[in-house]
């Protein structure tokens, strides 16, 4: 069974940093592109970052470019999202995503709250 488990969220002050992790199992992780999404209260779920299977190509939402970095360690079946210079607008539940051919797989999400 596909399983995605996010961790690393929490409460941080504006300007702070967090690193999110997503531990994956149940599929061939090294062949799969992975994504990070987030959903803030009252807003639609949005794509934050994407990374190809080898990590050779990454893409980011304009709102996080220069502040967030997505990476992966295929030996550990883990994808990361390093978040620096956090803003209150980054407050959301962050989800790890694996988009298979016919099914979207999601983790349970991890809450990131940026507040003073």
Long-range contacts of residues 73-77, Cβ cutoff 8 Å, at least 24 apart:
74/29, 74/30, 76/23, 77/23, 77/24, 77/25, 77/29
* Calpha distance 82→68 (Å, rounded): 5
Report pLDDT for 25: 98
Residue with tokens 């409460």: 11
* Residue pLDDT, tens place only, 60-113: 999 999 999 999 999 999 999 999 999 999 999 999 999 998 999 999 999 999
* Residue pLDDT, tens place only, 12-40: 999 999 999 999 999 999 999 999 999 99
Report pLDDT for 69: 98
DSSP string, 40-93: -TTS--EEEEEE-TTS--EEE-TTTTTTEEEEEEGGGTEEEEEE-S--GGG-EE
Report pLDDT for 7: 98
């Amino acid at each position: 069974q596909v399983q995605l488990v996010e961790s690393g969220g929490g409460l941080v002050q504006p300007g702070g940093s967090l690193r999110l992790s997503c531990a994956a199992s149940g599929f061939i992780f090294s062949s799969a592109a992975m994504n990070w999404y987030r959903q803030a209260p009252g807003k639609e779920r949005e794509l934050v970052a994407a990374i190809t299977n080898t990590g050779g190509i990454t893409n980011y939402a304009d709102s996080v470019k220069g502040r967030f970095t997505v990476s992966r360690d295929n030996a550990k079946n883990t994808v990361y999202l390093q978040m620096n210079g956090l803003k209150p607008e980054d407050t959301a539940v962050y989800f790890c995503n694996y988009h298979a051919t016919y099914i979207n797989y999601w983790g349970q999400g991890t809450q990131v709250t940026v507040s003073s």
